[in-house]
């Protein structure tokens, strides 16, 4: 099921609402000395191609966004802990400023669910009178908030509240809590008072639990509805604040005395993900993004993006950026405005001219943007990840086919941009076909010939919040257990065959390995040393300004040219080495799954997993985040809620 859309015209927050809310928080920060820890759940078993290495080099934008919004408001006693770097972190042992934090937040994707739950369970072991307010959020929770509440009456753990939305939802909830908080009252205690008085019910974007006894089994989940989205992303605080809150990498279970120093940040995180645009006009049935964005396309201005990049580059020395865009070329006007601002800055020299960016686009929009591609390159964009999915468009049609895809690749390369295809393998696609481009290897071959230097092939897997999600379960396609192995969240990342009607699904798993091996292998590596696909014009430009080049000696200019040419030439070989190393890990992790699929009995789902705890909306109606078939809660009377409309709170300030 896709997330329902709010009533037309009511999808977005009022312009300026975020700015006002940030001002309110600054007043609260003067009166409340809060400490918060934000953890990014990461399951190390997910370290396989195509994301291996990038996963460690990126401090995720979601947790940094939460940190930025708190720190910028004045709540600077905030720490971001990433399990990538701090795998032994134990919330039960965390102390910040010498005390148990007032708020503990966890952010998680679906595939990191086991670690997300473990973090929450550990936090729940803290004595109830000292326990922080536990808040869960992030992509997993946006679609399936019920997952962070235990249905087991003998082991009742859970977040206090699941936030099914973005920064504004967190701030508005904290605004309500801090307005009600008595002197020295714990954040959890005020949360419980607010919850029980119905004060949170007017704020869409939350799911909270209720029980008849304190710390007793959870009896119902209350869903306050679908969030209103922030339309103008310029209203967000700058991401620089979040980077100043990172816990340094360590093996300790506790927190260090200081966050990572500015000059240490780029040593650990070489790639910065950052928000430029959000949303996509296509509606691919396997993708939850358009519904999450309620069919809205939201952007930052070019000037703001250029300023953010400059701040991050200058403060932390990071030069590689990856846009968290769903489809950066979605709107010509917005893309050109952003690219013009970045290109203007790049012409001013370092650090802008050294910045290299990548992001995601579609084939269709790349062709539409053909005349603007020189500008896109001047803006610093050197690689674009393209959802090719299936060259023959058998799986999904989003206005693309083989000719269009290859044409888009040609255009990008002519303009010095590396095309990075993202493909999807499915039941009806064979490994190889004769005289057609339907086979997986045929397609990988065609894309490599067209200039692909990296390759991503994922198996079609049910994505929560997408149109096809329930159908994959009700049709019996989704596996529950294979042999004695359950389908755990960490193998639902598209790298494992966990949904298939193929009579021999192990073949599909081998196909994925074969496609990667065809692309990343020692022979190809050797070949790239002589014929390199990254050897294209404009790819590695001189970061110096015209004036600097003129004033430099001929020897210096010659040396720079040779260095740039060498890097350009051997980049392809470097990507091959990275791919082969990643492939080794992928074989190591997925080989046992091939054997399970080969010899094990496959148990299938007949219904999508729903919440075992009954759910309801604030007035007793169906919960908007619940899946079809969800039991409606009838636990106790619906409180005579007096919801405080967030708009009211803002206006009264
Ligand atoms: C960049 C990106 C990547 C990068 C970097 C990931 C990272 N760790 O940062 C790379 C390439 C490594 C990557 C890999 C994968 N990704 Co990815 N990725 C993205 C992308 C495009 C942008 C993420 C981002 O930075 N967004 C910007 C930030 C600000 O948004 P956000 O993280 O959602 O956070 C906001 C809210 O969620 C919320 N929030 C977040 N945390 C918290 C915490 C609290 C307490 C609260 C209150 C709120 C809150 O507020 C934030 C601010 O608005 C998103 C799609 C998207 N547009 O978001 C997919 C996305 C996150 N990826 C996804 C997936 C599935 C994957 C992969 C499994 C690959 C795949 N099969 O597609 C791998 C996993 C690799 C791994 N081992 O972890 C899914 C996750 C779906 C889910 N339900 O969990 C997404 C949502 C795309 C989709 N299909 O819908 N990804
Ligand atoms: S083009 Fe990409 S982001 Fe847009 S709906 Fe399709 S898969 Fe999702």
Tell me what the mean pLDDT of segment 101-127 comes to: 98
Verify whether ligand 1 is closer than 6 Å to residue 18 (CB atom).
no
The whole-number pLDDT of residue 650 equals 38
| C-alpha of residue 140 to centroid of ligand 1, in Å | 9
142 and 283 both lie in a single domain: no
DSSP-derived secondary structure for 46-109: G--TTTTTHHHHB--HHHHHHHHHHHHHT---EEEEETTT-TT--GGG--BTTB--SEEEEE--
Percent of the chain with pLDDT over 90: 92
Residue 614 is assigned to a structural domain of this protein: no
d(Cα 408, Cα 376) in Å, to the nearest integer? 14
pLDDT at 390 over 80: yes
Query: Structure tokens of 86?
Result: 């701090």
pLDDT averaged over the chain? 95
Compare 460 and 133 and report the one with higher pLDDT: 133
The whole-number pLDDT of residue 93 equals 97
Q: What is the pLDDT of residues 138-179, one digit of tens each?
A: 999 999 999 999 999 999 999 999 999 999 999 999 999 999
Domain end position, chosen among 203, 231, 259: 231
286 and 429 both lie in a single domain: yes
To the nearest 10 degrees (0 to 180), the angle between helices 402-414 and 440-449 is 30
Q: What is the pLDDT of residues 535-551, one digit of tens each?
A: 998 888 899 988 999 99
Pocket probe for ligand 1: among 54, 69, 91, 138, the residue whose CB has the most ligand atoms within 8 Å is 138
pLDDT at 325 over 70: yes
Q: What is the pLDDT of residues 489-518, one digit of tens each?
A: 999 999 999 999 999 999 999 999 999 999
The SS3 of residue 470 is: helix
pLDDT at 135 over 80: yes
Residue 39 is assigned to a structural domain of this protein: yes
Q: What is the pLDDT of residues 368-386, one digit of tens each?
A: 999 999 999 999 999 999 9
Q: How many independent structural domains does the chain possess?
A: 2
How would you list the strands of the sheet with 161-163, edge to edge?
78-82, 36-40, 103-107, 133-137, 161-163, 206-210, 220-223, 615-617
199 and 276 both lie in a single domain: no
Compare 641 and 627 and report the one with higher pLDDT: 627
166 and 292 both lie in a single domain: no
- Nearest residue (by CA) to ligand 1, atom 85, is 139
Pocket probe for ligand 1: among 109, 136, 292, the residue whose CB has the most ligand atoms within 8 Å is 109
Tell me what the mean pLDDT of segment 282-303 comes to: 96
107 and 226 both lie in a single domain: yes
Tell me what the mean pLDDT of segment 229-258 comes to: 98
Q: How confident is the model at residue 639 (pLDDT cuts 50, 70, 90)?
A: low
Domain end position, chosen among 178, 203, 231: 231
- Write b or e for each residue in 83-112: b if 16 or more Cβ atoms lie within 10 A of its Cβ, otherwise e: bbbbeebebeebebeeebbbbbbbbbbbbb
Verify whether ligand 1 is closer than 6 Å to residue 51 (CB atom).
yes
CATH code of residue 305: 3.80.30.20
Compare 397 and 444 and report the one with higher pLDDT: 444
82 and 181 both lie in a single domain: yes
178 and 274 both lie in a single domain: no
Q: What is the pLDDT of residues 8-54, one digit of tens each?
A: 999 999 999 999 999 999 999 999 999 999 999 999 999 999 999 89
Are 488 and 401 in contact by the 8 Å Cβ rule? The answer is no
Residue 247 is assigned to a structural domain of this protein: no
Verify whether ligand 1 is closer than 6 Å to residue 55 (CB atom).
yes
- Nearest residue (by CA) to ligand 2, atom 8, is 287
| C-alpha of residue 421 to centroid of ligand 2, in Å | 14
Atom of ligand 2 nearest to the CA of 281: 4
Query: Structure tokens of 331?
Result: 């709107």
Residue 124 is assigned to a structural domain of this protein: yes
Domain end position, chosen among 584, 599, 614: 599
pLDDT at 651 over 50: no
Residues 6+ apart with CB under 8 A from 199: 176, 180, 193, 642, 643, 644
Q: How confident is the model at residue 635 (pLDDT cuts 50, 70, 90)?
A: confident
The whole-number pLDDT of residue 317 equals 97
Are 55 and 84 in contact by the 8 Å Cβ rule? The answer is yes
The whole-number pLDDT of residue 640 equals 56
pLDDT at 64 over 80: yes
310 and 406 both lie in a single domain: yes
152 and 276 both lie in a single domain: no
pLDDT at 532 over 60: yes
Q: What is the pLDDT of residues 393-427, one digit of tens each?
A: 776 766 678 899 999 999 999 999 999 999 999 99
Percent of the chain with pLDDT over 70: 97
The SS3 of residue 475 is: coil
The whole-number pLDDT of residue 399 equals 62
Atom of ligand 1 nearest to the CA of 163: 47
Tell me what the mean pLDDT of segment 451-468 comes to: 96
pLDDT at 479 over 50: yes
Residue 32 is assigned to a structural domain of this protein: yes
Q: How confident is the model at residue 646 (pLDDT cuts 50, 70, 90)?
A: very low
Q: What is the pLDDT of residues 596-631, one digit of tens each?
A: 999 999 999 999 999 999 999 999 999 999 999 999
Q: How confident is the model at residue 591 (pLDDT cuts 50, 70, 90)?
A: very high
303 and 214 both lie in a single domain: no
Q: How confident is the model at residue 391 (pLDDT cuts 50, 70, 90)?
A: confident
Residue 635 is assigned to a structural domain of this protein: no
Give the domain extent around 133: 17-231
- Nearest ligand (C-alpha, residue 67): 1
489 and 593 both lie in a single domain: yes
- Cα distances from 117 to residues 112, 132, 140, 150, 299, in angstroms, run 9, 16, 11, 9, 33
- Nearest ligand (C-alpha, residue 207): 1
- Nearest residue (by CA) to ligand 1, atom 14, is 51
pLDDT at 590 over 90: yes
The whole-number pLDDT of residue 190 equals 98
158 and 56 both lie in a single domain: yes
Q: Are strands 36-40 and 103-107 parallel, antiparallel or unpaired?
A: parallel
- Nearest residue (by CA) to ligand 1, atom 2, is 324
Residue 446 is assigned to a structural domain of this protein: yes
Residues 6+ apart with CB under 8 A from 465: 1, 2, 3, 142, 143, 288, 291, 292
Residue 626 is assigned to a structural domain of this protein: no
| C-alpha of residue 469 to centroid of ligand 2, in Å | 15
d(Cα 202, Cα 240) in Å, to the nearest integer? 32
Q: How confident is the model at residue 642 (pLDDT cuts 50, 70, 90)?
A: low
Residues in the chain: 653
E strand or H helix at 486: strand 485-486
pLDDT at 221 over 80: yes
């Amino acid at each position: 099921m896709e997330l329902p859309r709010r009533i037309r015209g009511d999808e977005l927050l009022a312009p300026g609402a975020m700015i006002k809310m940030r001002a309110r928080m600054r007043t609260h920060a003067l009166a409340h000395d809060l400490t918060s820890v934000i953890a990014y759940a990461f399951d190390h078993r997910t370290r396989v191609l195509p994301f291996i290495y990038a996963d460690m080099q990126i401090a995720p934008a979601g947790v940094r966004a939460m940190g930025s919004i708190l720190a910028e408001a004045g709540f600077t006693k905030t720490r971001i802990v990433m399990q990538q770097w701090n795998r032994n972190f134990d919330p039960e042992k965390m102390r910040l400023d010498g005390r148990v934090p007032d708020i503990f937040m966890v952010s998680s994707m679906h595939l990191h669910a086991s670690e997300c739950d473990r973090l929450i369970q550990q936090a729940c072991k803290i004595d109830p009178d000292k326990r922080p307010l536990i808040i869960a959020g992030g992509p997993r929770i946006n679609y399936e908030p019920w997952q962070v509440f235990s249905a087991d009456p003998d082991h009742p753990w859970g977040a206090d509240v699941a936030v099914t939305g973005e920064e504004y939802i967190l701030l508005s909830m904290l605004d309500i809590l801090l307005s009600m908080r008595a002197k020295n009252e714990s954040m959890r205690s005020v949360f419980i008072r607010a919850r029980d008085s119905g004060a949170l019910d007017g704020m869409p974007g939350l799911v909270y639990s209720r029980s008849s006894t304190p710390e007793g089994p959870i009896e119902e989940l209350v869903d306050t509805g679908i969030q209103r989205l922030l339309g103008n992303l310029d209203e967000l605080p700058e991401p620089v604040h979040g980077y100043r809150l990172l816990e340094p990498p360590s093996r300790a279970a506790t927190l260090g005395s200081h966050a990572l120093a500015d000059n240490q940040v780029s040593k650990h995180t070489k790639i910065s993900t950052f928000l430029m645009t959000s949303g996509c006009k296509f509606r691919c049935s396997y993708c939850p993004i358009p519904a999450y964005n309620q069919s809205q396309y939201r952007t930052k201005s070019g000037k703001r993006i250029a300023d953010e990049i400059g701040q991050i580059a200058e403060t932390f020395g990071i030069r590689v950026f990856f846009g968290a865009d769903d489809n950066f070329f979605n709107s010509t006007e917005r893309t050109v405005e952003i690219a013009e601002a970045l290109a203007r800055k790049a012409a001013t020299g370092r650090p802008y001219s050294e910045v290299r960016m990548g992001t995601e686009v579609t084939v269709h929009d790349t062709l539409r943007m053909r005349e603007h591609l020189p500008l896109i390159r001047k803006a610093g964009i050197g690689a674009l990840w393209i959802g090719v999915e299936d060259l023959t468009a058998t799986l999904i049609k989003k206005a693309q086919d083989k000719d269009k895809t290859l044409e888009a690749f040609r255009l990008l390369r002519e303009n010095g941009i590396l095309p990075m295809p993202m493909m999807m393998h499915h039941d009806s696609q064979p490994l190889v076909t004769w005289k057609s481009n339907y086979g997986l290897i045929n397609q990988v071959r065609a894309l490599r010939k067209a200039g692909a230097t990296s390759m991503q092939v994922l198996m079609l897997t049910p994505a929560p919040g997408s149109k096809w999600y329930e159908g994959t379960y009700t049709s019996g396609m989704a596996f529950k257990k294979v042999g004695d192995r359950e389908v755990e969240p960490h193998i639902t990342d598209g790298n494992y065959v966990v949904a298939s009607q193929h009579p021999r699904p192990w073949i599909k798993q081998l196909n994925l390995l074969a496609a990667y091996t065809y692309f990343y292998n020692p022979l190809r590596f050797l070949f790239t040393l002589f014929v390199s696909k990254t050897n294209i014009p404009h790819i590695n430009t001189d970061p110096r300004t015209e004036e600097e080049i003129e004033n430099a000696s001929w020897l210096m200019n010659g040396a720079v040219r040779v260095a740039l040419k060498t890097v350009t030439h051997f980049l392809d070989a470097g990507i091959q080495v990275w791919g082969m190393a990643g492939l080794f890990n992928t074989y190591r992790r997925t080989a046992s799954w091939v054997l399970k699929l080969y010899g094990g009995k496959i148990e299938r789902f007949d219904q999508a997993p729903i919440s075992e705890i009954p759910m309801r909306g604030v007035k007793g109606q169906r919960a908007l985040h619940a899946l079809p078939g969800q039991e409606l809660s009838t636990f106790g009377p619906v409180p005579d809620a007096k919801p405080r409309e967030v708009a009211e709170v803002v206006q009264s300030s």
